[in-house]
Chains A and B, each alone.
Chain A
Amino acid sequence: DAMVIQNPRYQVTQFGKPVTLSCSQTLNHNVMYWYQQKSSQAPKLLFHYYDKDFNNEADTPDNFQSRRPNTSFCFLDIRSPGLGDAAMYLCATSSASGLAGWETQYFGPGTRLLVL
């Protein structure tokens, strides 16, 4: 089945130690998103890739970076995790046409990050 896969499902890191979260998709979608969801809050968009074009949200901290080496994979890098970065990180994909068309976003199961 076509799907969005996130690894690992749980990640523990130390304060200040760089960490990378992974997302892959078999849907061949051209848009990939990263959301941060803190406990009991709505998902918050950090950034997205439209094909190879990176689009950062204005309020996303510089501590968060992303890479998309190919259509299938996208990575979220947290350069120096703080305690406040502990959250669920959700990856999503969609197939946007670029003609103001709108396609549904499909979410992965998420990676829960714990910062010690």
Chain B
Amino acid sequence: AQSVTQPDIHITVSEGASLELRCNYSYGATPYLFWYVQSPGQGLQLLLKYFSGDTLVQGIKGFEAEFKRSQSSFNLRKPSVHWSDAAEYFCAVGTGGGNKLTFGTGTQLKVEL
């Protein structure tokens, strides 16, 4: 069965600093990978996705993520964090057969001004 691990429950960064959120997945086939962001009391917004092709994918709000098959990772990065990026970030893997998403437990990002 597929699974997603986000090892960092909480991360605090200063505004303007770079950010990397870690995500590791377990899945037998080629994974479909996603990063979603959730602001307090809100639904999930898609940041970016990887289906195939270029392993470095660009998303909205200046985020990018790199798929590394050898490490089973799909880490999210941003070169300069803004205070408005404070939110919870979820990594997810999709299964091709069932069109289902399995989410990681999320990383709560706090941005210090």
Contact = CB atoms under 8 A, between A and B. Distances in A.
Interface of A: 4, 6, 31, 40-45, 48, 50, 55, 90, 92, 94, 96, 100-110, 112
B28 interface: no
A2 B42 CA distance: 18
B38 to A, nearest CB: 9
Interface residues of B, number: 23
B104 A42 contact: yes
A96 B99 contact: yes
Contacts of B104: 42
Interface in B41-69: 41-46, 49, 51
Contacts of B45: 107
Nearest to B44: A107
B43 to A, nearest CB: 4
Nearest to A103: B99
B43 A90 contact: yes
